[in-house]
Structure 1
């Protein structure tokens, strides 16, 4: 039986992303397309929207300003993409021609996108391509209806509602300037038609550049079919030319991300102060309290509570865990574990089920077994702590000798005293105790008590002799006087008075 090709199967898809601009108004040493936006760069978001096309065609990124940085970024996030350099920035049409020259065998559908439209959804891009291929158009323009079209090219349609032209504002009539449907700068072309018309572009304009919009005009003049596809949400077509506009995009994306998670069953108490990267995952019934930042590859389990005032970067939080007023990086918080407030989990921290890291505790490359607790005021670095062990307050794991880091191990069901120092490498056995104020430099066997502190001695009268005239000396003298008076009164009570005759 002969298979009937679907619309989606009839053409190879190719993507060209224009990322050569300097972005002078950003006033930054970083190329504009590499500025971060909730988990990806601007360019990274555009690449993510184009990802469905990576399997079937080519992705070519035209680079220019900061080209070495952009190439390095592409190698990290999209090694399938091919960067080509636009040595002289001579317009969008020139950039697309360079991309096609680098791919002489390219055929089929060509999607052209700016590298600074991070809110574009993959679904919108797929619909744009579907419209183009279904209508067999030579070119399809992504448009948007905006409240204020000032400075943007207007989409002029004929009486039948079909695309007629793109008119730049400087060339528009008063009636055309009233049009609110604008050119987004995203296009789909048939490769052969695009290549032919790029060869006919002129630089006879104010800027002396080759404009991609002129390709649309040339195709229309040749009688080729041009289609306008309107984006469902105009914010998807927004770019950023300076830091203020970038902040606006960031807020729009924050709201989009938070709304999607809330509709998926996550409780976000204050969406306006909650910032979640697109790379983060959350399970249902997770609770995110105000002023919380979830970044990178962070994952929040079902029923876990994070925040308020917490920042988690590449952190896994297990089901039912709580993380309060905490900064954590590359850590793993087990199911039903408790962290904070005011805790700092550094890379390599692994907290077991129902374990606890409490107030003003810092951990690094530390493993806590099930039910183990470090309640407060401690540093646990390069250490393993066994299940159901309790670490006393103000404990320090002394892990660095000035040359190398070494590990210490505390066994299961151990109890360590307050103000302990464990000088690595040292091992405390299962069920062992260590006395408060001890500096432990030797292993403590299972079930033993480790004590390491000098015998206390009191030097009577030292303050009066060494600190005469001070408030401390006066307080000491007053206390001694009270003791003497109390002692004298006790003697009188013991002796008694003679009986009256």
Structure 2
């Protein structure tokens, strides 16, 4: 059967106290609305429409690669009004529409699939996802008939004394038969405490028409929405625990899950060990058998097998097998570090390739360079890649030895099997097999301090 989804993402989010639309706040490194979109796609719902309002252009920009359509809710007049704004998207379709919210990112693929299966197998006109909680304060209540079937949903502010005692609550997530929904949207009235158009009123309308209305219980945790920074933190904690548990069940050792931060799209191979304080973000992939010692940040990078990283930052780059990085190294975007390389303490690599077996052990900057294999960089080497106006490239061949405190002034080429003396400033090509010395000859003036009156 045909399936589509509406994701309600037009809320103002006043309690967030932010200029950013609520649904664009991130949970484990990804915008909440994009998490919900991804979950829908994993559930085989590919025709998606976002109902947007506040910050519409920002939401469009953040979701531009998701292949979704948009409906605009100019004024936030309730969930029923939001769905009315998407009538054009629904018209002409037959099947099921799932309705979820862009600020409730904990819903899982498994639950979405079960809800749709329950809805379609039961041939319901509408299905409500519900939960039972001890303290239902603020939630709409599920009111059932004597036979246990669903009668209506009453918003908290509109509940009478008996209805307030009900502990089964509305999750604000639904499945509808598309035609049944379209036939009754315009019958919703706003004669309630908030003066809004409630989507929940459609449930009571359908029931009064004798149509089947279902309700499926789902874990309350999955229905949690975000309306404040406190709730954002609570949802992020739950999501982080899920992610860490998933990786541990797949062969990753996480020493302290409470202090390890792994993004939703990160992949980690078996037998990798992760110490506390690591932050793994974006489309990062850590392959088998790596060791991430405390306090590194890795974003959108590929780390090959057997790599060891200590207290370092790696952004949009690749690190080859059995390489060691850090402590306190900084590998900047578009860098590619080879196999069996040593990137040591206080080393910065920027938009450069480093060949296999090369050692850059400490206090060195390499920018806009191609470095061959099995080279050695002495302490304090600087690739001087910027002339004040433009960046220039340096090429260093295989088996080159760069002495301590060398400046390589770009653009410059250092060919294979070369040696550069410590303290040199290299501005010209160093040919293969050569030894380059580029420094002033030492001059000693004996007795100079006494003559100048500087002796102490």
Partner of 1:60: 49
**Matched ranges for 1:403-442 at <5 A:** 403-442=389-428
Partner of 1:484: none
1:43 aligns with 2:33: yes
Deviation of 1:247 after TM superposition, in Å, equals 1.2
1:16 aligns with 2:3: no
TM-score, length of structure 2 as denominator length: 0.96
Partner of 2:15: 25
The Cα offsets for residues 311-369 of structure 1, whole Å up to 9 and x where unpaired, read as 01111100001111001111100000110000000012111110111000000111111
Give me the CA root mean square deviation. Answer: 1.6
**Matched ranges for 1:369-408 at <5 A:** 369-408=355-394
The Cα offsets for residues 353-411 of structure 1, whole Å up to 9 and x where unpaired, read as 10111000000111111110100000000112211111111000011122221111221
Partner of 1:311: 297
**Matched ranges for 1:338-377 at <5 A:** 338-377=324-363
Distance 1:229 1:55, change over 3 A: closer
The Cα offsets for residues 452-491 of structure 1, whole Å up to 9 and x where unpaired, read as 11111122233334354xxxx33xxxxxxxxxxxxxxxxx
Deviation of 1:156 after TM superposition, in Å, equals 3.1
Partner of 1:444: 430
Partner of 2:318: 332
Match of 2:111 among 113, 124, 127: 124
Distance 1:465 1:149, change over 3 A: farther
8 Å CA contact retained: 2:369, 2:393: yes
Partner of 1:282: 268
CA distance in 2, matches of 1:416, 1:53: 56
Deviation of 1:424 after TM superposition, in Å, equals 1.2
TM-score, length of structure 1 as denominator length: 0.88
Distance 1:225 1:169, change over 3 A: same
Match of 1:167 among 146, 154, 174: 154
**Matched ranges for 1:105-144 at <5 A:** 105-144=92-131
8 Å CA contact retained: 2:153, 2:201: no
**Matched ranges for 1:283-302 at <5 A:** 283-302=269-288
CA distance in 1, matches of 2:453, 2:36: 73
Distance 1:171 1:401, change over 3 A: closer
CA distance in 1, matches of 2:334, 2:178: 50
Match of 1:71 among 31, 45, 60: 60
CA distance in 1, matches of 2:244, 2:44: 28
Partner of 1:184: 171
1:218 aligns with 2:205: yes
> SS at the partner of 2:81?
helix
Deviation of 1:170 after TM superposition, in Å, equals 3.5
CA distance in 2, matches of 1:395, 1:229: 65
Deviation of 1:298 after TM superposition, in Å, equals 0.6
Match of 1:88 among 56, 59, 75: 75
CA distance in 1, matches of 2:369, 2:348: 12
Match of 2:235 among 249, 260, 274: 249
Gaps of 5+ in 1: 1-10, 475-501
> SS at the partner of 1:198?
helix
CA distance in 1, matches of 2:148, 2:254: 43
Partner of 1:196: 183
Distance 1:28 1:138, change over 3 A: same
Match of 1:154 among 120, 136, 141: 141
CA distance in 1, matches of 2:63, 2:139: 30
Deviation of 1:63 after TM superposition, in Å, equals 0.9
CA distance in 1, matches of 2:88, 2:430: 73
CA distance in 2, matches of 1:170, 1:92: 15
CA distance in 2, matches of 1:41, 1:181: 29
> SS at the partner of 1:75?
coil
CA distance in 1, matches of 2:42, 2:373: 47
8 Å CA contact retained: 2:43, 2:112: no
Deviation of 1:273 after TM superposition, in Å, equals 0.9
Relative to structure 2, which stretch is displaced further, 164-173 or 425-434? 164-173
8 Å CA contact retained: 1:307, 1:326: no
Distance 1:17 1:94, change over 3 A: same
Aligned residues: 456
Deviation of 1:199 after TM superposition, in Å, equals 1.8
Deviation of 1:206 after TM superposition, in Å, equals 2.5
**Matched ranges for 1:469-480 at <5 A:** 473-474=455-456
Structure possessing the higher radius of gyration over alpha carbons = 1
Deviation of 1:53 after TM superposition, in Å, equals 6.2
Distance 1:191 1:103, change over 3 A: closer
